[in-house]
Amino acid sequence: MRAISLHRDLIVVTSRLLQTNCTIIRGPSAELTGPQAAAPGAGETFVVDSPILPDELALLPSLLEQARFPEPSGLLATHADWDHLLGRLAFPEAALGCAESTAARLQAAPGAAQRELRDFDEQLYLEREHPLRLGSLQALAVPGRCGIGEVELELHRADGHTRDGMAVWIPWARVLVAGDYLSSVEIPTLAAADAKAGMAEADTVQADGIEAYLATLERLRPLIVDAEHVVPGHGPVLDSAGALSVLEEDALYLQALRELGAAAALPAGRRGREQRRLHAENVAAVR
């Protein structure tokens, strides 16, 4: 597990598996503009998404303590894919917030995330001390805002990769947490988790996934322009220029996928065996 600080109020933890990113946000205190703005422990803390491995999750509480961040008062999940929902294993008492669309997806397929996690763990011979329990969900209006300390996070609709989801803009740090978008290591994928969950409308969602994905990229563009850093769901943290470059590559790939299908060229640097497999799934999804 790797942890980097992007701002005095923000740490990004990257899992050793799948380069999955977890973003820890401390809300600034009321004295944000005064001399006490950087006081250790100011504000409250949210944890967005999660690392994957059991030892990484076990280390999160001590990491927050060492950084002098308060114990998290809430967890946020950018969408309902299982690898973004594991925060409750580290902080079982914290409330889990998500977009209304994510809450609806989880309620429509109860236990799906837990089953996918068990399958993943069995394949890698991983053991966890406790099963994943999501508990009650706090459904958040998206687009909308979520208070943290004396300020607010902005929540922006992000669908196309799945039928649900949100991106989180942290205005005082100028950081965008993008969910499973803008990855420099993974090509865009379309509603894959919905198909795994067996949702009745998965075929329709997949057919419309390209347009939804392109709409999300354009929705995120002005935030990327204003960002110091962009945190994708998987892969390295990007600066504004790097994220805009990935956005353009992803848009070109999706447009080619719509027009050329299997003949669409994959983005440079994302043409390995696993990315070709994901491309084949995309082609099957949009037929």
The pLDDT confidence band at residue 158, using thresholds 50, 70 and 90, is: very high
Report the domain count for the chain: 1
Please compute the mean of the pLDDT values over residues 116-144 and round it to a whole number: 94
Mean pLDDT value across the chain: 90
pTM to 2 decimal places: 0.89
Give the DSSP letter string of the chain.
-EEEEEETTEEEEE-SSTTBEEEEEE---TTTTSTTTT-TT-S-EEEES---SHHHHHHHHHHHHHHTPPPPSEEEESSS-GGG-THHHH-TTSEEEEEHHHHHHHHHSTTHHHHHHHHHHHHHT---SS-----SEEEE-SSEEEEETTEEEEEEE--SSSSS-EEEEETTTTEEE-SS-S-SSS----SHHHHHHT-TTHHHHHHTHHHHHHHHHHHHHHHHHH-SEEE-SBS--B-HHHHHHHHHHHHHHHHHHHHHGGGPPPPTT--SHHHHHHHHHHHHHH-
Task: List the CATH number of the domain containing 37.
Answer: 3.60.15.10
Quote the pLDDT of residue 150: 86
Q: What is the mean pLDDT of residues 90-106?
A: 95
Domain hosting residue 266, numbered range: 2-286
Least confident range from 10-14, 142-146, 278-282, 283-287: namely 283-287
Q: What is the pLDDT of residue 149?
A: 85
